[in-house]
Structure 1
Amino acid sequence: MAGAAAPKRQDTRKFFENLSGAGKSIAVLTSGGDAQGMNGAVRAVVRMGIYVGAKVYFIHEGYQGMVDGGDNIKEATWESVSSMLQVGGTVIGSARCKEFRAREGRLKAAHNLVRRGITNLCVIGGDGSLTGANMFREEWSGLLDELLQQGLIDEEAVRSNSVLHIVGMVGSIDNDFCGTDMTIGTDSALHRIIEVVDAIMTTAQSHQRTFVLEVMGRHCGYLAMVSALACGADWVFIPEMPPEDGWEDSMCQKLSENRSQGCRLNIIIVAEGAIDRQGQPITSDFVKDLVVSRLGFDTRVTILGHVQRGGTPSAFDRILASRMGVEAVLALLEASANTPACVVSLVGNQAVRLPLMECVQMTQEVQKAMDEKKFEEAVALRGRSFENNLITYRLLSHRKSDSELPTGEKEAGDGDQFAACDEY
């Protein structure tokens, strides 16, 4: 999937000097679940928009604010986004909006935008929010015709607002959107998870306990998988790659062997959407009960919940959001009447623009593959980064026995009582 990269370094100054957003109005909104770093993206859109001479508007409370209009749509200033880069969540608010799903709601939203001359929309949210934005764009001309027929706008308003440009940025802690290596908020959520795991490990080791941690990821196991890799978890459950049948015996055997080698703790991480090969849920409570009944280990469950969304954004998320926000404004300025809606993504270390609906469709293909039990395909669709992390975790979490090693060789540190413990 090809994308348009940002301007080359040597051309940057000249490129920006020639930009002009005079006469254009840009609105920015956040929608769906909040994610650390969203404020950085909002700030970047506002300041970049003002830098090129455009008017920039906040739309408070997501699509609900667009439908309700009034004070929910306010012009932003350079100062109005000061001191928000380090703030978690979204200061302009986010809300679910049933009204926007109906044409009548989208008609109200179109009227509110036309009244302010807004024809450039930057949406920060998940795939559902971005899909809704694309639908709004496709219906735009029909909505204007309907507003004209109802006498709510005149022909001049139809002419001057004839095209709606949409650019998306993915704000989601789950990193569940295909086409980008990282979504805004994922890195910060991983930091929250690792902080909790590190804290739990000290008490688990003190009391020789097993902890089962449930992390977010209803349809995507990225947080579970990468946090398991980062903290050396003994076992991890993710929806894209369920464990093989008989996993109960394999997991309990591994936990038992680790204890016999001197480990005083076990960490098991479960994505909230984890399933087995038959599509049945694997819950944190089920895993706990299994360990207690089979092994008799003192086992506790910790559900991290919304703490993963909280706190200040990491440096990575602040920079990622800032770069994406700048690229989003550039995409809006360069868009023509025939330019399809795009999403700003991170590929390698480059901010690129990809066709929005192609990425949405690929994201939906992952769920389809899981529903059809094509798990290898689901992992591949998640992308190379996801697949490589999964392979790395597998390599580092399985300790070969002496019988599996080449003749005459023995694993380094085999005599050390802690050698079998991933956390060491």
Structure 2
Amino acid sequence: MNAAVRAAVRMGIIQGHNMLAVHDGFDGLAHGQIEPICWTGVTGWTGKGGSMLGTKRTLPGKLCEEISLNIAKFNIHALVIIGGFEAYVGGLELVQARERYEEMCIPMVVIPATVSNNVPGSDFSIGADTALNTITTCDRIKQSAAGTKRRVFIVETMGGYCGYLATMAGLAAGADAAYIYEEKFSIKDLEMNVMHLIEKMKTTVKRGLILRSEFCERELQICTM
């Protein structure tokens, strides 16, 4: 995200624009946490993780009046919104508020930046590739690939309700199974995977690797008898 901010700031300056930085997302835009940012203000941001400007998941729906006042106060002519699904929803809410607030009638663009890779209308988001590489090089997966005997590693990935990280990491690491929210599974499916691992342990490959996305169990279908 910091690299994206750096690129946006410097490209804007090259194009002759005065760039402003908004701290803490839509909440900061509503409460006037806005300041000019120059070329040197983003020096060294490329290699820094997280967000130097700060983030909040606050959506602008109930803050539209304050946001419109600050857009006018700071003479903002366009918005570059960098973030994940909440950024997309927030941008949509600002567009929908144009009927009530003419200050919102400015160009707005959302740059997808989330490890979940779940922003509608986008194929790939900033942070997803870094997260995927981090998962596939973690110690548990490396131990599994190295041939640790008679062990099954279960690795949970981030991603919320999006199974991109678990699926792609499973493919990259050669996992035995990957459980994701989008694909429903039952106790019977879990039992079949356990039986697969039992049979696998009887061969020369005495190891197993399971990946699960963080909310996958919410699609677990439990059958009662």
Work out whether the TM-score is over 0.5.
yes
Q: Quote how far apart the aligned CAs of 1:204 are.
A: 7.4
- In structure 2, relative to structure 1, the CA distance for the partners of 1:214 and 1:253 (3 Å cut) is same
Distance in 2, Cα, partners of 1:134 & 1:202? 44
Q: 2:97 aligns with which of 139, 154, 157?
A: 139
Q: Could you tell me which of 32, 36, 42 is aligned with 1:75?
A: 36
Does residue 186 of structure 2 align to residue 225 of structure 1?
no
- Helix, strand or coil at the partner of 1:223: helix
Correspondence list, 1:208-357, <5 A: 208-243=150-185, 246-275=188-217, 279-280=219-220
- Would you say 1:101 and 2:61 are equivalent positions? yes
1:180 to 1:119, Cα distance in 2 relative to 1, 3 A: same
Q: By how many angstroms is 1:202 displaced?
A: 6.9
Q: More helix by proportion, 1 or 2? A: 1
**Structure 1 unaligned residues grouped into runs of 5+:** 1-37, 145-160, 283-424
SS at match of 2:82: strand
State the secondary structure of the residue aligned to 1:269.
strand
User: With CA pairs under 8 Å and 6+ residues apart, which has the higher RCO, 1 or 2?
Assistant: 1
Report the TM-score, using the length of structure 2 for normalisation. 0.88
Question: How far has the Cα of 1:96 moved from its partner?
Answer: 2.6
Q: 1:171 to 1:162 in 2, by over 3 A?
A: closer
CA distance in 1, matches of 2:85, 2:145: 38
Q: Deviations over 1:357-395 (max 9, x none)?
A: xxxxxxxxxxxxxxxxxxxxxxxxxxxxxxxxxxxxxxx
Are the aligned partners of 1:134 and 1:166 in contact in 2 as well (CA < 8 Å)?
no
**Residue number among 47, 57, 60 corresponding to 2:10 in the alignment:** 47
Say if 1:202 and 1:244 are closer, same or farther in 2 by CA, change over 3 A: closer
**TM superposition shift of 1:238:** 1.4
| Residues 274 and 281 in structure 1, CA contact (< 8 A), matched pair in contact too | no
Aligned length: 221
Change (3 A) 1:268 1:162: closer
Cα deviation, residue 58, structure 1: 0.4
Q: Is the 8 A contact 1:204 1:210 kept in 2?
A: no
Measured against aligned partners, the alpha-carbon deviations of 1:323-382 in whole angstroms (never above 9, x if no partner) come to: xxxxxxxxxxxxxxxxxxxxxxxxxxxxxxxxxxxxxxxxxxxxxxxxxxxxxxxxxxxx
Equivalent AA in structure 2 for residue 261 of structure 1? T
Is 2:72 aligned against 1:114?
yes
Amino acid at match of 1:260: K
Query: If you compute each CA radius of gyration, which structure gives the higher value, 1 or 2?
Result: 1
Give % identity: 28
TM-score (norm 1): 0.49
Contact in 1 for aligned 2:141/2:209 (Cα 8 Å): no
Distance in 1 of aligned mates of 2:28 and 2:64: 12
2:64 alignment partner AA: R
- Residue 268 of structure 1 aligns with an amino acid whose one-letter code is I
- For 1:140 and 1:263, the matched residues in 2 are separated by 61
Give the 3-state SS of the residue equivalent to 1:58 in structure 2: strand
Q: Which residue of 2 aligns with 1:312?
A: none
SS at match of 1:97: coil
Residues 261/89 of structure 1: CA separation in 2 closer, same or farther (3 Å cut)? same
| Residue 88 (structure 1) aligns with | 49
Segments of structure 2 that go 5 or more residues without pairing to the other structure are none
Aligned AA (2:57) = R
Q: CA deviation at 1:56?
A: 0.8
